[in-house]
């Protein structure tokens, strides 16, 4: 019998997909730490994908794996996340000015992604603007019913890299336990 081993076929398919990610793309990456992180796709992107990427992920993984691999290959220009503290390489790249980093409270990041998938342009957040992270553009505020809100823009991307336990030909995904995390919202955005 001849044929390709399933793992080899998966790596080849991931490499073909990664090669289509253009320079400057915004890439949503599912996962919360290791659960739900699409390591095979990230490895392929590190080896074959675009450069100057904006990567949106809950965290920066650890050095050398996942998003850390993209950092090692110099593919990330900007990282949008909730924390990067477990990845000393990401911290060093940020401190040395090799990448831009935008840190958000986790709920705010999740809602920006959800709004992007729902087709909404933005949402109103009742968080103190001084407690929110700096953003490339100044935050707008509005007063509604006597309260001041920040206008938080929806987050959309060119590509979403999603880890799922199974998929059908229609694009429906099934997740295992906590690997679901950000994946459904990211798949829509």
Question: Which tens digits make up the pLDDT trace of 163-177?
Answer: 999 989 898 999 988
- Per-residue pLDDT at 3: 57
Count CA atoms within 13 Å of residue 140 on its CB side: 8
Question: Residues 129-163: pLDDT tens digits?
Answer: 677 767 767 788 899 999 989 899 999 999 999 99
Please state the pTM of the whole predicted model. 0.90
179 CA to centre of own chain: 14
Cα angle value 57/112/58 (rounded, 5°)? 20
Q: Which pair of tokens denotes residue 36?
A: 């739900």
Kindly report the average pLDDT of the chain as a whole number: 90
Question: Residues 42-83: pLDDT tens digits?
Answer: 999 998 878 999 999 999 999 999 999 999 999 999 999 999
- Per-residue pLDDT at 1: 43
Residue with more model confidence, 11 or 186: 186
Give the β-pairing of 173-174 and 147-153. unpaired
Q: How confident is the model at residue 93 (pLDDT cuts 50, 70, 90)?
A: very high
Q: Are 71 and 93 in contact, with CB atoms under 8 Å apart?
A: yes
Q: How confident is the model at residue 126 (pLDDT cuts 50, 70, 90)?
A: confident
- pLDDT score of 16 more than 90: no
Backbone phi and psi for residue 14, each to the nearest 5 degrees, phi listed first = -65, -40
Q: How far apart are CA 144 and CA 150, in angstroms?
A: 11
Backbone phi and psi for residue 166, each to the nearest 5 degrees, phi listed first = -155, 155
- Per-residue pLDDT at 4: 55
Q: How far apart are CA 41 and CA 145, in angstroms?
A: 46
Mean pLDDT lowest among 1-5, 34-38, 88-92, 144-148: 1-5
> How far apart, in Å, are the Cα atoms of 55 and each of 26, 58, 136, 179, 185?
6, 10, 15, 19, 15
Cα angle value 70/166/72 (rounded, 5°)? 5
């Amino acid at each position: 019998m001849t044929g390709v081993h399933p793992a080899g076929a998966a790596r080849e398919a991931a490499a073909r997909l990664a090669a289509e990610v253009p320079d400057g793309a915004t890439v949503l990456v599912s996962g919360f730490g290791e659960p739900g992180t699409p390591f095979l796709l990230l490895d392929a992107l590190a080896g074959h994908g675009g450069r100057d990427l904006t990567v949106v992920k809950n965290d920066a993984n650890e050095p050398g794996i996942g998003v850390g691999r993209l950092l090692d290959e110099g593919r990330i220009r900007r990282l949008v996340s909730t924390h990067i503290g477990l990845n000393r390489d990401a911290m060093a790249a940020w401190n040395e000015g090799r990448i831009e980093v935008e840190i958000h409270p986790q709920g705010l990041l999740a809602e920006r992604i959800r709004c992007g998938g729902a087709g909404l342009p933005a949402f109103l957040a009742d968080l103190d603007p001084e407690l929110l992270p700096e953003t490339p553009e100044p935050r707008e505020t509005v007063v509604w019913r006597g309260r001041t809100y920040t206008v938080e823009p929806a987050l959309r991307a060119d590509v979403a890299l999603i880890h799922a336990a199974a998929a059908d030909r229609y694009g429906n995904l099934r997740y295992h336990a906590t690997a679901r995390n950000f994946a459904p919202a990211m798949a829509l955005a």
